[in-house]
Amino acid sequence: MTIAPERLSVQRVADVVSALRSVLRDDQILTSKPDRYNRARVPAPFPVHRWAERVPDLAVLPESTEDVAAVVRLANDLRVPVVPRDGGTGLTDGAVPLRGGIVVDVKRMNKIHELDLDNRTVTVGTGISMLKLNEQLARHGLFYPDDPASYPCSLVGGRIGTSGWSLIGSRYGHTRDLVLSFDHVLPTGEIMHVGDGIGRKITKSSSGYQLKHLFMGHQGTLGIATRATLKLFPKPEAELSPFWAFDNYDDAYACVGALARAGVATFAGAVLFDEYKVAYLRRDDEAYIPQPGDVRALVCAAMYGYEDEVRPAGKRLFRIAKEHRARYLGDEISEGDWAARHDRYATPLHGRTKAGQVVPMSWHCEDAAINYTNLPAVTREWHAIVADLRRKTDVFDDWGMFAYTNSVTGADYLTEIDVGIWEQHLDDAAWELWVKAKRDLAAVSLRYDGSISACHGSCREGEVDLVPEELGRGFQVMLDLKRTLDPNNIMNPGKYLLDRAYAENGGDR
Amino acid sequence: MKDVDGPEHSPSYPYRYAEQYSPPEPARVSDVAITTFEHVYEVDPRLMQRWVLQQTFPNWDSLRIMASRQDHLDWMHRHFANTVVNGSVLLAEVEAEDEANPPSTAAPQQEAPR
């Protein structure tokens, strides 16, 4: 599926800018080429020669909910696409404009509005990063534990729009659990407060429909979150992150399951690294290059809490690992590797041709939610799909797979395959191969009763084709909701096959 | 300034170009990697001859990159928790307890059979 960009004419852009000047200052309206191109950039690889298709016509820098509402109202009146952009770290192109229009960059809405020490909440502008927020919270011994692999650079609003997944979510919950409520600008420009009930700081309500989840994870297709109230925890006193090596995948797989099922209260997550991931690390990661050849799979666990909780619970996990023939990798690797997991976007990347030569590659991470019992089969089938790609071209390199516990009980895992993509050589033919591979990867997930995405969202080319299959009747409900809330299809158009909502009704698009 | 740590740690140490571009003799650590300074690994130069060419770094820059990497990881630890529990200490305690009370008679840690 290739979406042809529909650009605004030069005159139309001038008219939009002129209209925006009635609601924003000049310095909040950006039209230069660098301003626009910088806001078309996301981490997921895409053919270089087609980047111009994804550039907005202009960008705006609102400073308040009212600014955002005014821009969206105006865009709705003028029928101009609006694309919300937070950190731009998403891996399913949520922040990428497919039809040009106005990018609403929320980075100036980065204030801490209220810190409620008694109710343990903080209310922030959605343009703040978790890192900067936690620097302020640490002064009060508090912590907001939403911890994606893009922790230093992703923003609270993007986490809402993606319904993000947190590395330590098995202990503290994921974004949907941590965001209590938020102000939200609907596609018509109306402002709505959404949460559990109407309260800002309520953690559980049974009043009315549970709308909070609907307005999380929509990838910007249902509006823009502008101010959020978040749940806070004490800053952990102690952290433990042991890494263990195994001489075979089966023992590591059994071990990660046992660790997750142990029911330890301070357990924040466990990760299984398969043989392909170990082989990748062994060629390029200083921690693993010197490891002996019999290291073929890895498991790590993370624990957070008070020291007198973490120490005895940690010993329990060490016993479980020992029963599964694990070898502790040592403090330096364990502590260093875990610390690096909070910031994977800073990692310089390169891959190998089949002849072994180093080539510059970008990182693509394909994810799914898979039950524990299906991990081995999905792992085998996913590697077979990427191996088939690599046989055809050096553009792709298999960087191995991770499986992270999705929750504290170990029922299912965020399952990821990392694929290096040689972006400079990603021509149309290679891109088509990749889109087909993404579709095939998603099909495997569904065949094993999984979900296409646990973490990133599923609105990129390839996987999005299978979203109607995954959701069944629920996809028609998505279309109905989209048409009702966004009657003119201005909010991030072209995503999630939602254009079908309008085509079926004889709409404009 | 008293030169207690040797000349390489003194801010007044002069920059000598030839020294900076003479890293320790590389040693092979795997089929695809070599090492120079302790903990400094490099891709085998034979694998960087066509698409990506290796750059020459002065010694101070290689060491700075390694040190700043460690600074970054230390910062992350402090950011997420006040202290880090060393797994090696827990493992030593587990081993000592198992030695004193072998696992067959110790309290079971495994989950119930499924």
Q: Does B107 touch chain A (CB under 8 A)?
A: no
pLDDT reading at A131 higher than 90: yes
**What tokens were used for B51?**
């698409």
Confidence (pLDDT) at A72: 98
Q: CATH number, domain at A403?
A: 3.30.70.2740
Residue with tokens 């690797």: A333
Q: How many domains does chain B have?
A: 1
Q: List the CATH number of the domain containing A286.
A: 3.30.70.3450
User: B70: which chain A residues are within 8 Å (Cβ-Cβ)?
Assistant: 336
Q: What is the pLDDT of residue B102?
A: 84
* Contact list, A342 vs chain B (CB under 8 Å): 76, 80
State yes or no: pLDDT of A403 exceeds 50: yes
Which pLDDT band holds residue B71 (cuts at 50, 70, 90)?
very high
A480 inside domain = no
- Tell me the residues of chain B between 17 and 46 that have a Cβ less than 8 Å away from chain A: 29-30, 32-33, 39-41, 43
* Res. A59 pLDDT band, cuts 50 70 90: very high
pLDDT reading at B3 higher than 60:
no
Query: Which residue among A205, A234, A263 closes a domain?
Result: A234
pLDDT at A6: 65
Same domain? A360 vs A342 = no
pLDDT at A506 > cutoff 60:
no
Helices (H) and strands (E) in chain B, counts: 3, 4
Lowest mean pLDDT among A242-251, A259-268, A284-293: A284-293
CA distance A180 to A208: 16
A290: chain B residues, CB-CB within 8 Å:
29-30
Question: Looking at chain B, which residue has its C-alpha nearest residue A337?
Answer: B73
Higher-pLDDT residue of A156 and A51 is A156
Same domain, residue pair A183 and A88: no
Q: What region, left, alpha or beta, does residue A435 occupy, with left being phi > 0 and alpha being psi -120 to 50 degrees?
A: alpha
The conformation of residue A452, written as its DSSP 8-state character, comes to S
Residues of A in contact with B50 (CB under 8 A): 357
d(CA A400, CA A396) in angstroms, rounded, equals 12
Residues A244 and A179 in one domain: no
Task: Flag whether B57 is in a domain.
Answer: yes
Residues A272 and A380 occupy one common structural domain:
no
Domain that holds residue B54: 13-100
Q: Please state the rounded mean pLDDT for residues A270-284.
A: 95
Task: Examine residue B42 and state whether it is found in any structural domain, yes or no.
Answer: yes
- pLDDT for B4 equals 44
Residue at A481 is within a domain: no
Q: How high is the ipTM of this complex? A: 0.93
Local structure of B27: helix, strand or coil: strand
Range of the domain at A359: 350-466
DSSP SS3 for A12:
helix
In a domain, A272, yes or no: yes
Interchain proximity A358–B87, CB inside 8 Å: no
Pairing of strands A327-328, A121-125: unpaired
Q: Model confidence over A487-505: pLDDT tens digits? A: 999 999 999 999 999 985 5
* A307 burial via Cβ count (<10 Å: 0-12, 13-18, 19+): middle
Whole-number Å distance between alpha carbons of A473 and A241: 42
Q: Are B58 and B20 in contact (CB under 8 A)?
A: yes
pLDDT level of residue B49 (50, 70, 90 thresholds): very high
Which residue of B32, B43, B69, B90 to mutate against A (max A Cβ within 10 Å)?
B90
Indicate whether A508 pLDDT > 50: no
Evaluate if residue A347 carries a pLDDT over 90. no
Compute the average pLDDT of residues A431-451. Answer: 98
Number of domains in chain A: 4
Whether B9 has a pLDDT exceeding 70, the answer reads no
Domain of A99, CATH number, reads: 3.30.43.10
**Boundary of a domain, candidates A314, A346, A378:** A346
Residue A19 shares a structural domain with residue A80: yes
Q: A195-219: per-residue pLDDT in tens?
A: 988 889 999 999 999 999 999 999 9
Classify residue A506: in a domain, yes or no.
no
Instruction: Find the closest chain B residue to A239 by CA distance.
Output: B84
**Claim to verify: residue A451 and residue A420 sit in the same structural domain:** yes
| CA A371 – CA A375 distance, rounded (Å) | 7
Q: Is the pLDDT of residue B76 over 50?
A: yes
Find the CATH number of the domain harbouring A160. Answer: 3.30.465.10
pLDDT given for residue B39 in this prediction: 84
Lowest mean pLDDT of A37-41, A170-174, A226-230, A251-255, name the range. A37-41
Q: The whole model's pTM is what?
A: 0.93
Average pLDDT, chain A: 95
Distance CA A80, CA A74 (A): 8
Give the chain B residue whose CA is nearest to the CA of A138. B79
**Residue A352 contacts residue A358 (beta carbons within 8 Å):** yes
Regarding whether A172 and A228 lie in a shared domain, the answer is yes
Chain A contacts in chain B segment 45-104 (CB below 8 A):
47-52, 70, 72-74, 76-77, 79-88, 90-91, 93-94, 98, 103
Q: Identify the pLDDT of residue A345.
A: 80
pLDDT in tens, A378-402: 999 999 999 999 999 999 999 999 9
Q: Is the pLDDT of residue A433 over 90?
A: yes
Chain A hits for B110, CB-CB cut-off 8 Å, are: 258, 320, 323
| H or E, element range at A447 | helix A428-447
Report the pLDDT value the prediction gives residue B13, as an integer from 0 to 100: 72
Q: DSSP assignment of A62-115, as one string?
A: --SHHHHHHHHHHHHHHT--EEEESS---SS-TT--SS--EEEE-TT---EEEE
The position carrying tokens 């924003």 is: A24
Nearest CA in chain A to B90: A315
Residues A204 and A268 in one domain: no
- pLDDT at residue A235, as a whole number: 98
Helix (H) or strand (E) segment spanning residue B73: helix B59-80
Say if A474 falls within a structural domain.
no
State the alpha helices, DSSP H only, in A448-508.
467-471, 473-485, 500-503
Residue A494 in domain: no
Answer whether residue A182 is part of any domain: yes
Name the DSSP class of A369.
E
**Domain presence at residue B67:** yes
Cα–Cα dist A86/A206, whole Å: 31
User: Do B73 and A335 count as a contact with CB atoms less than 8 A apart?
Assistant: yes
- Are A339 and A356 part of one and the same domain? no
A476 within domain boundaries: no
Size of interface A-B (CB pairs under 8 A): 125
Residue A123 contacts residue A111 (beta carbons within 8 Å): no
Distances (CA, A) of A288 to A90, A221, A279, B35: 28, 42, 9, 13
pLDDT given for residue B104 in this prediction: 67
A99 and A72 fall within a common domain: yes
Let me know if residue B2 belongs to a domain: no
Residue B96 covered by a domain: yes
Query: B38: pLDDT confidence band, cut at 50, 70 and 90?
Result: confident
Q: Please tell me which residue of chain A has the smallest CA distance to B31.
A: A283
Q: How crowded is residue A363: how many other Cβ atoms within 10 Å of its Cβ?
A: 18
**Dist. CA A365–CA A92, nearest whole Å:** 10
